[in-house]
Amino acid sequence: MIEQKQLWSHQPPAIEYLNAHNASLLDAHMGTGKSFIQIQNVRHVASGPRGRTLILCPSAVLGVWRREFSIHAPEEFDVIILDGKANSSKKAERVNDALKVQQAHLRPLVVVVNYESFWLPPIWRVLNSVLWDKLVADESHRTKSFRAKCSVHTWKIGKRSGSRTALTGTPMPNEPGDIFAQYRWLDQRIFGIFWGAFKTQYAVMNKWIPQKVDTWVNLEEMNRKINLIRYHIPRSVLVLPEKQDIRIEVNLSPAGMKIYQQMKKESIAFIKKQMDGIDPDQVKTAVGSNGAVQFLRLLQLAQGYVTDDEGDEVNTDTEKRRTLMDLLQDLDEPVCVYGWFKHDLACVERCCEILGRRYGEISGRRKDLTPHAKMPEDIDVMGVQCKSGSAGIDLTRSRIGIIMNSGLLSPGDFDQMISRQHRPGQTKDVIYYHLVSAKTVETKLIDERGRKRDIVDVLLSELEEEDVF
């Protein structure tokens, strides 16, 4: 039975669609209730006493599924969340034990495991020995790289699953080709199983760089095929509090700007040297790869530091850190601060030490979240590494976000990141403060991201202004 208190008008049609299709892409904006919809579908296809469901998701989302099943289907399923620091052998034992318990007690089983570990040999041997009634890939764009082990193993286990659903709000975060590997495990009849055949049909490849796509073609046909099993729920179905974006321009000190300008000149000179002898038609393609490291160094300098050849950090400016300190000092409520580099989060933590604020972090090394993937009550300031803060977590306890540095996030990933605060569950108007180092590449990056331009295009436009081409 579906709880009426959770039912939104856009959800019943989505549930019916998933129930009617053995393979489906639920392309739903964050906060539209994807998890609830999927749980109702699991009830439909795998709620029998021997029902078995496997859910793959990013590490940060493991706690979300624990929360969602406890709210929407309490006591209905044995839900095994493979989280914690146990090694892969211990996690495999947990699944084996759960399967034995199911045989004895005849209760439907749900196993939730992260993308980073489900393909490791001990876990994989157990998972691949089961005929799953339902396979769910949450944030399914994580399976878009068709050669990656995560994607290949999702395809393999998908062939052993009766029903399959991909959940994502960004099915093609970077380019149309991102859809191939996801549809390979969803329904291989649509685009086939060979990347070579797919790119022959839809891509024009670069004649100098074999793996580089110059342009995508036949997009109307591709879109028609995608829609064969796609159900879309747009952001427009949500009624949310207001969101305000406040841009704070930070002027580097004269010394800091001098170092930045010198590094910029050296970067331009380096790229020019790399371009010597390259066919003019291929210059921009080459810059897209050769200029990325130089671009990152300029972004570091915009934050007030740079990494030297030995890998040590050298401070070049303190203005952005001072601005962050001033903001935090004036905010007497929970705050989330987003950064791209480890250095950014180290600065946030140092500010909290000085101000006496309780600091937490969501990054590759720390996950200071509740078991339900929410911001804990005993944290005043949450430092969020951009990539780690863009999937599955709920930061609605805070209405204030400070974007210290959003790095190379694509427009889609950036929207996902900030929607962790501005989403259902948020009861207050949300304010984002964007700290931008004036007259640096960071300014152009943020402006062009607002126009939904790709990061490589931003780099190229910056270099074009310097007459590289």
Total-model pTM: 0.74
d(CA 28, CA 209): 35
Residue 179's pLDDT is what?
Answer: 97
Q: Let me know: does 142 contact 58? Beta carbons within 8 Å.
A: yes
**Residue with the larger pLDDT of the pair 271 and 9:** 9
Residue 64's pLDDT is what?
Answer: 86
Q: Let me know: does 368 contact 376? Beta carbons within 8 Å.
A: yes
Q: Which ranges of 106-147 does DSSP label H, i.e. alpha helix?
A: 121-127
**pLDDT of 460 strictly over 60:** no
* Other Cβ atoms within 10 Å of 273 Cβ, number: 9
Residue 449's pLDDT is what?
Answer: 76
d(CA 438, CA 454): 21
Domains 4-237 and 243-465 fall in the same CATH topology: yes
Q: Per-domain residue ranges for the chain?
A: 4-237, 243-465
Residue 288's pLDDT is what?
Answer: 52
pLDDT, tens digit (0-9, with 9 covering 90-100), for 290-338 = 556 677 888 888 899 888 777 788 889 999 999 999 999 989 999 999 9
Residue 2's pLDDT is what?
Answer: 42
Residue 285's pLDDT is what?
Answer: 54
pLDDT, tens digit (0-9, with 9 covering 90-100), for 205-214 = 988 877 889 9
d(CA 448, CA 457): 9
| Torsion angles phi and psi, residue 120, rounded to 5 | -65, 140
pLDDT, tens digit (0-9, with 9 covering 90-100), for 183-220 = 999 999 999 999 999 999 999 998 887 788 999 999 99
First to last CA, the chain: 63
Return the residue matching tokens 């829609």: 227
DSSP state of 235: G
Class of domain 4-237: alpha beta
When pLDDT is cut at 50, 70 and 90, the band that residue 441 belongs to is confident
Residue 464's pLDDT is what?
Answer: 53
Return the residue matching tokens 């084996």: 96
Per-residue b/e over 24-46, b at no fewer than 16 CB within 10 Å?
bbbbbbbbbbbbbbbbbbbbebb
pLDDT, tens digit (0-9, with 9 covering 90-100), for 99-110 = 999 988 899 999
* Assigned architecture for domain 243-465: 3-Layer(aba) Sandwich (3.40)
Q: Collect all residues with Cβ–Cβ distance below 8 Å to 431 and sequence separation of at least 6.
A: 243, 244, 246, 399, 400, 401
Q: Let me know: does 35 contact 65? Beta carbons within 8 Å.
A: yes
Q: Which ranges of 337-394 does DSSP label H, i.e. alpha helix?
A: 342-355
The two tokens of residue 115 are 């993308």
**Residue with the larger pLDDT of the pair 417 and 92:** 92
Q: Which residues is 301 bridged to in the sheet? A: none
d(CA 350, CA 402): 16
**pLDDT of 463 strictly over 70:** no
pLDDT, tens digit (0-9, with 9 covering 90-100), for 239-267 = 889 999 999 999 999 999 999 898 888 87
pLDDT, tens digit (0-9, with 9 covering 90-100), for 128-148 = 999 999 999 999 999 999 999
**pLDDT of 29 strictly over 50:** yes
**pLDDT of 360 strictly over 50:** yes
Residue 1's pLDDT is what?
Answer: 39
d(CA 251, CA 248): 10
pLDDT, tens digit (0-9, with 9 covering 90-100), for 218-231 = 999 999 999 999 99
